[in-house]
Amino acid sequence: MSPTSFPRDRIRIALLENIHPAAAEALRESGYSVDVIPKALEGEDLDTVIASAHILGLRSRTKIRDAQLAVANKMLAIGCFTVGTDQVAIQDAARRGIPVFNAPHASTRSVAELTLGCVIALARRLGDKNSRMHGGHWDKSLAGAHEVRGRTLGIVGYGHIGQQVGLLGEAFGMRVIFHDILKKLPLGLARPVADVDALLAESDFVTLHVPETPRTVEMIGAPQLARMRAGSYLLNLSRGKVVNVPALQDALRREHLGGAALDVFPSEPAPTLAEVDVGFSDLPNVILTPHVGGNTEEAQRNIGLEVAHAITEFIDRGSTEGAVNFPHVNLPAMPETHRILNIHRNVPGVLAEVNHIVSEIGANIEAQQLVTSRDVGYLVMDVNRELSDEVNNRIAALPMSVRTRILY
Ligand code: NAI
């Protein structure tokens, strides 16, 4: 470590909102000082934490807007220990030189397992049997109860979750078909189909695993539901707006569909709201869950470890791999070199200016990587001579510099 680099135990990490303990454990093992604050913060309490932390970790209830970022003078990075990052103004953070990390795929397996659970529950009408038995009815009727073996599972969106769903479906003896806008290598015996319409016409179970985009909003409406086979089932564990709810209610009411499983809804209530009616309570064979597809202990632990790892890689090596708002730089560490990071406004000529300052101290540049995106440029440079505070200060004083840090 060079005398100019910052000692690890002086890097202060504040983890809010009951982030899984595996994260604090991993970060402490890396040598950082970690403060665990179990609740969400707002107002002055939040500002106080933000002003003193080098890293802020949060889940979805703490909101970080530009007003909060304005006091984040020491902040190196923000870790969203969640799948999404809506709780943080990520472009403002980028402008201020703060990368934001999340864990988009840590709950993949949890969602896939619940999806298959719902496939079987729909095929056996378990939702209705369960509520009838809770109501004191011993209903042994086999009407509408089927095995899933040999049935066709149609997956729309063959990404991380869709692929796992396909593998699990196959393990149950299902025929798996999928449609994705990108060309995807099929896993197992899964077979791609040319378009959504072909998939709808062929599937006994249609399960949606697409992101919410202008193209996917209401991609399943009345015309698509009409193309589904009579008695088939729809599952949505992706995003609520992908399905037109009144059209689905109508298809279920007319018994064109045999049932549906919904984990997500176009508008979802605050977590504390006790009473909720998403509009399906009077319809048979509809399994409703309150957006819990990714809510397992295992997924929370994976999220904790994944974000902690990304943060450690950024602090120690300057890697921004996986950041949602930053150019991705991942320069391998080389022995006997010294590394400096410079985050700057994306204007021409930065590299020449930085190289000039470094060459003036007689240092040779061993490796460098500059990547830009939108407003931000990010430069990681390895040189063969120790870098002084003076070099750091000269680079930091360049008019386009936002943040500069000597790593080692
Ligand atoms: P992913 O990005 O790995 O996969 C999404 C796939 O959908 C990609 O392969 C993409 O090319 C494809 N796609 C995009 N637009 C499409 C279109 N118009 N037609 C067909 N395919 C299209 O995402 P991942 O991790 O598999 O997540 C899928 C969905 O699951 C997302 O909406 C995510 O928000 C949701 N999710 C839900 C959770 C829950 O608790 N229920 C938890 C985690 C994720």
Cα of 128 vs centre of ligand 1, distance in Å, is 29
Rounded CA separation 192/290 (Å): 31
Q: Could you tell me if the CB of 157 is within 6 A of ligand 1?
A: yes
Q: For 292-322, how does the pLDDT look when each residue is reduced to its tens digit (9 = 90+)?
A: 999 999 999 999 999 999 999 999 999 999 9
Distance between CA 338 and CA 387 in Å, rounded? 7
Residue of minimum CA distance from atom 15 in ligand 1: 210
Q: Which CATH superfamily is domain 112-288 in?
A: NAD(P)-binding Rossmann-like Domain (3.40.50.720)
State whether CATH 3.40.30.10 applies to domain 327-408: no
Q: Quick one: pLDDT band at residue 5, thresholds 50, 70, 90?
A: low
Instruction: Return the number of other C-beta atoms located less than 10 Å from residue 305's C-beta.
Output: 17
Tell me the CATH number for domain 1-107+296-326: 3.40.50.720
User: Are 62 and 17 spatial neighbours (Cβ–Cβ below 8 Å)?
Assistant: yes
pLDDT at residue number 7: 84
Weakest-pLDDT range from 35-44, 188-197, 308-317, 379-388:
379-388
Instruction: Give me the mean pLDDT over the 364-390 stretch.
Output: 92
The answer, yes or no, to whether residue 41 has pLDDT greater than 50, is yes
Q: What span, in angstroms and rounded, lies between the C-alpha atoms of 117 and 133?
A: 19
To the nearest 5 percent, what fractions of the chain are helix, strand and coil? 35, 20, 45
Q: What is the mean pLDDT of residues 93-106?
A: 96
What are 219-266's pLDDT values in tens digits? 999 999 999 999 999 999 999 999 999 999 999 999 999 999 999 999
Candidate of 209, 218, 298 to mutate for ligand 1, largest count of ligand atoms within 8 Å of Cβ: 209
Pocket test for ligand 1, best of 238, 241, 268 (most atoms within 8 A of CB): 238
| Ligand 1 atom nearest residue 114's Cα | 41
Domains 1-107+296-326 and 327-408 share a fold: no
Q: For residues 407 and 4, give the distance between their C-alpha atoms in angstroms, rounded to a whole number.
A: 8
Distance CA 31, CA 289 (A): 40
Ligand 1 atom nearest residue 292's Cα: 40
For residues 46 and 63, give the distance between their C-alpha atoms in angstroms, rounded to a whole number. 9
Residue 6 reports pLDDT greater than 80: no
pLDDT at 3: 46
The residues, any chain, with a CB within 8 Å of residue 70's CB and separated by 6 or more, are: none
Dist. CA 206–CA 216, nearest whole Å: 15
> Which helix (H) or strand (E) element contains residue 370?
strand 365-373
Per-residue pLDDT tens for 317-368?
Answer: 999 999 999 999 999 988 899 999 999 999 999 999 999 999 998 889 999 9
**What residue ranges do the domains of the chain occupy?**
1-107+296-326, 112-288, 327-408
pLDDT surpassing 90 at residue 383: yes
CA distance 331 to 321: 10
Whole-number average pLDDT of the chain: 95
The Cα–Cα gap between 127 and 118 comes to 9
What is the set of active-site residues?
239, 268, 291
Instruction: Compute how many other C-beta atoms are within 10 angstroms of the C-beta atom of residue 348.
Output: 9
Q: What is the pTM of this model?
A: 0.88
Number of other residues whose CB lies within 10 A of the CB of residue 118: 26
Q: What is the pLDDT of residue 391?
A: 87
pLDDT > 70: what percent of the chain?
A: 98
CA distances from 322 to 44, 107, 158 (A): 30, 16, 20
Hey, whose CA ends up nearest to atom 41 of ligand 1? 293
How far is Cα 260 from Cα 115, in angstroms, rounded to an integer? 11
Shortest CA distance to 376 belongs to which of 180, 65, 98, 28?
A: 98
Query: What's the pLDDT at 389?
Result: 85
